[in-house]
Structures are given as C-alpha cells and as structure tokens.
A = this chain, B = another copy of it.
Amino acid sequence: MILSKYIPSIEWLKNYNKADLKGDLSAGLTVGVMLIPQGMAYAMIAGLPPIFGLYASTIPLIIYALFGTSRQLAVGPVAMVSLLTAAGVGVLAEGGTAEYITLAIALALMVGVIQFALGVFRLGFLVNFLSHPVISGFTSAAALIIGLSQLKHLMGVDLDRSSYVHEILLQAVEHVSATHLPTLMVGLGGIAVILLLKRFVKAIPGQLVAVLLGIIVVWGLGLADSGVKIVGDIPQGLPSITAPNLDLSVWQKLMPTALAISIVSFMESIAVAKAIQSKHRNYKVVPNQELISLGLANIFGSIFQSYPTTGGFSRTAVNDQAGAKTGLASIISAGLIVLTLLFLTPLFYYLPKAILASVIMVAVFGLIDLKEPKHLWRSNKTDFVMLVVTFFATLALGIEEGIATGVILSLIMVIYRTTKPHMAVLGKVPGTRVFRNIERFEDLETRDDVLIIRFDADLYFANINYFTEQIEEMIEEHGTESLRVVVIDAESINHIDSSGVHALEQLITDLKERDIYLYLAAVKGPVRDSLHMGHLIEKIGEHRFFLTKQGALDHIDRVLRGEDSSPRFSEYTLQTNLHD
C-alpha cells in the first residue's frame, strides 16, 4: 500500500488487464511517431542540436510512467520549457556549443531536484497562485515569442537570438530582402501540409508527413546544395551517461531559470493531467507525487543527456484519444524513440530546418488564446486587465519577469479588494425571516430603532479603519435620534485577527457612549473562537450574540415590550440561545 503510494505504477502493473494492451500499444506508437519531429523541433527552440530532443524523449517518459500518478500524461520536451531553457542558458553560452549543451543538461538536473524537493515538502499548493487569466496571458505571449523565434529558420536568414517580439520583427523586416526563397517555400509547404491534414484527414499525423515530404523534396531536388539548411549528421546510438561538472557560480546563475521552469512546467503538467483524469476516475492525480515524479524524470533524464522535460498538452491529448489506459503507452513511445536513435537517425540527414520551424509554428500559434480575453472582457474586467498586463509584461520584460508580474499583481489585487470590502445595510423581506441589501431589493422592511449592517469580508488589520468609518457613516445616514441597536451581521466574516478584535471593542465602547447597543448575529465558529480568546465576549457582557438576525430583532422587541427582564441585555449565552 505505502509502496504503491510512491510508485503508483505498481497498481496497474500488478493487475495489468490484457484488454488495455491494444489501446496502450496504439497510443504509444502514435505518440512516439509524433515525438520524432516534435522532439527535434523543440530542441531547436531550446537552442540545442535536434538529437537532444530525442534523448529527452526516452528516460523521462519511462521514469514518469513508473512514478507518476496520471496514466495518460505524455512527458517529454515541450515548447514552453524549451523556450525558457533557451532564454536562461542563452545568456551564459553560445547556442549549440558544448558548453551550452552542458548547461542545458545541468538545468534539467536542477529542475529535477527543485521539483523533487517541492514534492517531498508538500509545496505543490504553490501552483495555486497562478490564476487562469495570468496563465492565459502568459501562454499567449510565450507562444508568440516561440513562434516568431522560428522566423529565421522559415526565412532562411541569420537573425540574432532575442526573446523580444519587437526586436525579432524589426530584424526580420530588415532582412526580408535576404530571404532564401527555396527555404521559405519548403517551410510554407510544411505549414500547408500540417494544416490541411489537421483539417481534412485527422487520422494521418501531419507533422510526420511534413517531415517525410520535406526530406524527400530536399533530397530529390538537391535543395541542400542551393542553400536550404538541413539537420545534417545525427549521431547514431543511445544517449551516454554524463555528470555536469560546473562551478558553483554557474549553478547560481542558472537558479532563477531553474525555479521558473520548475513552477511553469509543473503547472502545465498538472493542468493537463487533471483535465484528463476527470474523464477517467479510475485513478487520482496527486499534486505532490506529480512533483516528485516529474522531478525524478528530470534528474534521471539529465544523467542521460536530457534537457528539461514535462507533461505536455498536445501529446497527452493524442495519447488519451488514441486509447492509452496505463503508463505502458509512454514506455512504448520511449521504445520507439530508442529504436529511432539506434537505427533511423541517418534518415533525417536531409530534414530541412524550415520543416521543423513549420512544425513549431503551427503548434504554438494554436496556443494563442483569444477566446479567454474576449470572454473576460465581457465577464470580468479585473481579470481581463490581469491577462492583458501579464501578456504585455511577458512581451516587454521577458518570460520569467512576465509571469512574476502576473502573480504579484494578482496577489496585490486580492489584498486590495479586502481593504475596501462590500458593505450593506439590510432590510427584511416582508413575511419572511430573510434579510437583503436595501440597495439591491425593493420594498424591504427597515426600522428606525435598529440598523442592520453586513460586512462582506474578513475583519483584519488592513480593513478595520474602513469598517469603523463606514459604520460611522451608515449610522449618520440612518440618523441617531431613535437608533437604539446596531446589529452587525457577521455571516460573511470568516476570520477576525487581533486588530479586528481591538476594532470591534473600540466600536462597542464608542457606541455605548451614545446609548447605542451592538448586537452580533450569525457569528461563525472560528470568529466566535477568536472573540472568546480575545476576552471580548466577557468584556462586552451586556451585549448578545444571536444565531440569526431575526433572533436579534425578536430579542429587541421583547426588551421593548418589557418582557425581557434584562434592560441592559446583560445575559450572554452562546450555546443556549440556539433557539433564538
């Protein structure tokens, strides 16, 4: 039992159902075939030779299949993490050099260790701080950057590496006359093939067809000699074992990138894993175990020359649709890549880089999300602004800075919102015991001697001044002549801190000086506890707590009619006034 908590694959391994084999085999092969062009293309985004995309498609898949909690998640190289790798390693070394490769592999090790540690210390909840609008804005901007970063391969010109959209576009415009036409034709042809097959013949994997057609065309027409850039020699054989030997200062420089990749890749992975799991229900995705398994996949991957990997959107969807039932599918995919590495790499000698660029562009431009901003524009302006700010911050400040801006901004908004919360004066719905905001509902009953106020937030240090000032204002508006009781409807107060207790105490004292009594209605358990602990309940012994607002009103009436012997409302009973 405990073992299968840490190695979830035991569950499906020990009772493997032969009926699942067909689906696993078909899904495994389909994803494997997708992985060949995607792996090479994503390695190119990361600034690595294409072969490293294939290396990253072996060990990590197998490790995740054993330790992961999702049975359909397809782990491997993905576009976003590849771009983050390029952005982080690109400032430390020249793309494609031995040093660059060493750094990218070291980065996988760091990401793995960070994710593993986050999982062990159960910090998976941190991912909760990424809101949907922030993710959407960030993804669209990153997709734009990734897509445009491939312009140089599509146009067949040399452009400086940049992750700023305006710089890329400016350079592209400057070099537009140098465009290598045969390269452009091949690239556009690739895009056309992928889009057409995607639209009309879904069963055929467009990316693979584009790759094969590209190889045949370039080889057949001898386009490599006329300047179409090709992948060239790919070393045959499996990845070898490496241990990065770097200065401490280099590790330190990689740290911000490693942190960003750890969080972003976990986020992408857990989102897709949960979406797929909700369709299956025969297993449960456990966030912290996901961190541990992705961490192990990256650690062992890096030992075998893999750069950072994670669970990706597109291949996971294909894996599921093709019938994957267990992690065996991923192991089969990895097996196909191993066979490719052993025997098929010479096939890709003539693969034009423009085709890989077309694979990337189609994939990532599909990630640009226009629906969400449109939807938010109509439904939630604050979240719309959050999305747009994150989008432009990512474009203008950079990948990691963009996501950090989004997260910090959304947390500030959370705080800000609670500093000036919604407050309402309540009236009674005639003939019921229900109370509603007098500004939202018509014909509510109110009375001159009682003012009922609802405070719609936790009462804590950042809003106690607002709380006091607003109540003061509401009392003034109501008029103090015949006012005898203010009832605070505390049903929305989920928490009160020591500053809140102080403020309430002060309010009671201030009101008492004007011969107005404070009642509290519908105080929740945790708040009641805090009031008890703060000795507020004893201090204000002559005030009462009521389960409901109606209970408070009934009590006031009894006192006014002289039926209640406590003119000072002096009896405090918490448990016993249940029936008020």
Residues of A within 8 A of B (CB): 125, 128-134, 278, 287, 375-376, 378-380, 382-383, 410-411, 414-415, 417-422, 424, 429, 431-434, 436-437, 440-441, 456-458, 460-466, 491-492, 494-495, 497-499, 501-502, 506, 510, 524-526, 530, 533-535, 547-548, 578-579
Contact = CB atoms under 8 A, between A and B. Distances in A.
A499 to B, nearest CB: 4
B524 A492 contact: yes
A539 to B, nearest CB: 12
Contact of A379 (B132, B414, B530): B530
A418 B456 CA distance: 14
Given A418-B414, A460-B414, A462-B128, A578 B530 contact: no
A336 to B, nearest CB: 34
Nearest to A437: B525
Contacts of A461: 128-132, 134, 410
A429 B498 contact: no
A414 B462 contact: yes
B431 A433 contact: no
Number of copies: 2
B379 A524 contact: no
A495 B417 contact: yes
B128 A465 contact: yes
Contacts of A460: 131, 414
Nearest to A497: B383
Nearest to A421: B494
Most-contacted residue by chain B among A132, A530, A535 (CB, 10 A): A132
Contacts of A506: 278
A124 to B, nearest CB: 9
> Which 3 pairs between the two chains have the least Cβ-Cβ distance?
A131-B461, A456-B494, A379-B533
Contacts of A457: 494
Contacts of A441: 578
Given A132-B499, A414-B415, A499-B131, A440 B525 contact: yes
Contacts of A534: 375, 379-380
Nearest to A513: B281
B492 A491 contact: yes
Contacts of A380: 497-498, 501, 530, 533-534
Contacts of A383: 497-499
A562 to B, nearest CB: 25
11 contacts: A125-B419, A128-B462, A128-B464, A132-B461, A375-B534, A376-B498, A379-B501, A379-B533, A380-B530, A383-B497, A422-B494
Contacts of A134: 461
Contact of A429 (B436, B463, B495, B578): B578
Contacts of A524: 422, 456, 492
